[in-house]
């Protein structure tokens, strides 16, 4: 009797541990999804992108040529803020950075583990819109991690990239709506942009190098 009871407790404990580990791996505090890290300056994408219409590439200039999107130098900020809001207290870190030459210590919002390789340029130049990963930045007062960034999420796109593609000149457009059926457009763009077959996109070495 005691042996059966012990076995039952062991099985329940193991099942509970598995369920806990599964839940934890998908919780926001584990994946970072929807979390908003504190920044030295509360930069609002909603204002700059949504309100002023600034293109993503104005600040993230390396996104079409590099694996990283790149962070703007303080001089980019000062192109406007040497004339606008010049005495605003909230912009003191920007002015101090510009005067000292020390870059602003922005906190990373999207931070992949070292064993996963992601190339911004290959995605952007082959029609994957910024919105697919970053969500509607024009509606985010403070930048947040929009998606979980787990392996399952990446593979869902690599197994069926067509519905997530758009013309290259619309990659940075927020709230873009296709003029034709999305899957049909995506399949045509896969051929036009010579995107690798799904078998290659889902190879381990594509992301783990």
| 25 backbone dihedrals φ, ψ, rounded to 5° | -65, -20
Q: Largest alpha-carbon pair distance within the chain?
A: 81
Q: What pLDDT is recorded for position 84?
A: 94
pLDDT tens, N- to C-terminus, the chain (209 residues): 656 655 555 555 544 444 444 444 555 556 778 899 999 999 999 999 999 999 999 999 999 999 999 899 999 999 999 999 999 999 999 999 999 999 999 999 999 999 999 999 999 999 999 999 999 999 999 999 999 999 999 999 999 999 999 999 999 999 999 989 999 999 999 999 999 999 999 999 999 98
pTM: 0.83
Distance (Å, whole) CA 189 – CA 194: 8
Q: What pLDDT is recorded for position 209?
A: 86
């Amino acid at each position: 009797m005691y042996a059966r009871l012990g076995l039952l407790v062991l099985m329940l404990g193991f099942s509970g541990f598995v369920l806990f580990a599964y839940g934890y791996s998908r919780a926001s505090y584990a994946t970072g999804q929807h979390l908003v890290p504190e920044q030295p300056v509360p930069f609002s994408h909603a204002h700059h992108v949504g309100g002023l219409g600034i293109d993503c590439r104005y600040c993230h200039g390396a996104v079409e040529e590099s694996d990283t999107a790149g962070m703007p130098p303080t001089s980019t900020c000062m192109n406007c803020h040497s004339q606008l809001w010049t005495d605003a207290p909230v912009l003191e870190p920007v002015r101090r950075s510009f005067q000292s030459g020390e870059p602003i210590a922005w906190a990373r919002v999207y931070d992949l583990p070292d064993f996963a390789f992601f190339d911004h340029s290959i995605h952007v130049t082959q029609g994957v819109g910024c919105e697919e990963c970053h969500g509607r930045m024009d509606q985010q007062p403070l930048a947040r991690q929009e998606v979980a960034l787990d392996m399952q999420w990446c593979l869902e796109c690599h197994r069926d990239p067509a519905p997530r593609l758009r013309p290259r000149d619309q990659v940075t457009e927020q709230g873009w709506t296709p003029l034709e059926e999305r899957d049909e457009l995506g399949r045509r763009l896969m051929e036009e942009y010579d995107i690798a077959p799904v078998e290659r996109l889902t190879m381990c070495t594509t992301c783990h190098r």
